[in-house]
Every structure is written in structure tokens, then in C-alpha cells.
Amino acid sequence: MIKKCLFPAAGYGTRFLPATKAMPKEMLPVMAKPLIQYGVEEAVEAGMDVMAIITGRGKRAIEDHFDISYELEHQIRGSSKEYLLQDIRRLIDKCIFTYTRQIEMKGLGDAIYKGRALIGNEPFAVLLADDLCTHNGNGVLSQMVDVYKKYKCSIVAVQEVPMEQVSKYGVIAGKEIDDGLYMVDTMVEKPEESEAPSNLAIIGRYILTPDIFELIELVEPGKGGEIQITDALMTQAKKGMVIAYKFKGRRFDCGSIEGFVEATNYFYELGKKKEML
């Protein structure tokens, strides 16, 4: 039902400088796999096969990653290392990758808007690859698709965070309509602790209905000229058309060094456990 997933990947990744000076943040590897590949795998698991990636200057490595490297393929064909490319080859065969550039970093709302031509007039997912999510059962996007099937409106994934961290997120409030599901009526972008309507923070997973594009056009730039997606979502929320979903699973904030190291340790231990089985 939802076939397309948008990946805003145009940001500068300044928290990872100098590593991100010439390399996209989305290509930082947790173990041997780049963050954006985890994201594409999650989207495929949720039934999507068109990956619409919003890139910017210095992000060519993302396009090369989702392409065949003939020289490399030739070199390792028939060797004991060939299996290392299996997963990425499968993704390349299965998916269509489309790209467009965000020329200036004008915020997440603007990055999503730049994907309009790639998405068209259908509901779509948005995945921020620096939020790495994992779950034993269905992945987070897959869980959200199930919620979408029932409610047919925009869905944002939320997580409870300590109050002292709310200022890093978009924060929602609303009526709990089912276990872990909230009909959103308030959304505040990066609030002070004292002004936060709750501790339910939006993380990097969304399902959006296509009217969002017209709503983004109406958003006035906020702090630093940034177009916030939460402003456009708030217009939908006023009509009862946004649901927040407290997802099942664990999220690592790989946009920060601390979260990135945590994810690396987690996946390393997981790999060791699997080897022992």
C-alpha cells in the first residue's frame, strides 16, 4: 500500500566533523553496514520498493553505494568474500533508487518538500537514517504501516525521553486512543523543558499523506530560516489527521557520537551472540 520511502540525507552532519567533511553522515558504518542501508532494509521489510533519497553536495557516495561496482564485483567473484556483498546486491535488485538534491539546508520540512516530484500524490514514509531502529519482531516502519492501514492519516513515531532532553526533539501531546496510540492535538518543536507538552518525542520515522506538500508550502521559515515539518503536521493535527505511535523496539540516535557508539556496541554483541548459536 505504501511503496515509497523518502530519506532526507542532505544535512551536514556537523557533529561528526571531521569524519563528515568529505563523507556523508548516512554512510557512517555501524559494524560493516552504513546507516542508510539499515534504513533501506527497514523500508523493504515494510513492503516499500522505491527509495527517494534527498542528497546534497558531497553525498555522491550514497548513490555509488546503491549501484554496482563492476571492478569490485569482478575482483571478488568466486572468492570467499563474495557473500559480503549479498545483502546490498539484493537491495539493488529489489528497489528503485531515485535522487534529488536539496540545494540549501533549509530544514527537514524543506528536505521533504524537495521530494515532492519523486513521491507524487500518494502516502509515503520518511526515514531519517541517523535514527537507527531495531526490533525483534516487525521493524518500526512496518509497525507504522499497520497503524496507517487502520487510520489512513499521517503517523509519527514517538518515544518517551527524559524531560531534560525534550529540547532536542519535536514533542507531541494528545489523547491516547489505544494502547500507545495518540490522536495528536499539540506539537512543539524543540521546546524548553518548562514548555514541553509531554515527554513524547518524535523520532525519525513518519508516514505522511501527500497533502503535506501543500501544507509545507504555507510554513513560514522559523529559527535559522528552517522550514519545520512539525508546523505542516500541526495543520493536519488540527483536523485530527495525525496519530503518534509509541513504537516497539529500540532506537539509537546515531546522529550523536554517544548514540553511534551505543549502536556499535549493541550490534557487535548481537553479532557475537548469533555466531555462538
Question: Which residues here bind ligand UTP, judged by CB under 6 A?
Answer: 8-15, 25, 54, 102, 105-108, 110-111, 128-130, 255
Kindly state the smallest distance separating residue 113's Cβ from ligand UTP, in Å.
Answer: 10
Compare residues 108 and 234 and give the one whose CB is closer to ligand UTP: 108
The b/e string for 75-94 (b: 16+ C-beta within 10 A; e otherwise) is eeeeeeeeeebeebeebbee
Measured from the CB of residue 256, what is the shortest distance to ligand UTP in angstroms? 8
In the complex, least distance from residue 271 CB atom to ligand UTP, rounded to whole angstroms = 25
180 versus 191: smaller Cβ distance to ligand UTP: 191
- Give how far the C-alpha of residue 59 lies from the chain's centroid of Cα atoms, to the nearest Å: 17
Cα R_g (the chain), whole angstroms: 19
C-beta of 97: minimal distance to ligand UTP in Å? 16
- Pairing relation of β-strands 131-134 and 250-253? antiparallel
Residue nearest ligand UTP, CB atom distance: 11
Q: Nearest approach, Cβ of 56 to ligand UTP (angstroms)?
A: 7
- Whole-number Cα distances in Å, 53 to 9, 96, 128: 7, 11, 10
- Determine the straight-line distance between the first and last CA of the chain, rounded to whole angstroms: 36
**Based on CB atoms, which residue is closest to ligand UTP, 14 or 75?**
14
CB count within 10 Å of CB 8 equals 27
Nearer of residues 48 and 127 to ligand UTP, judged by Cβ: 127
CB-side exposure of 189: number of CA atoms within 13 Å?
15
User: Residue 10 or residue 212: which is nearer to ligand UTP going by CB?
Assistant: 10
Task: Single out the residue of 190, 165, 167 nearest to residue 258, CA to CA.
Answer: 165
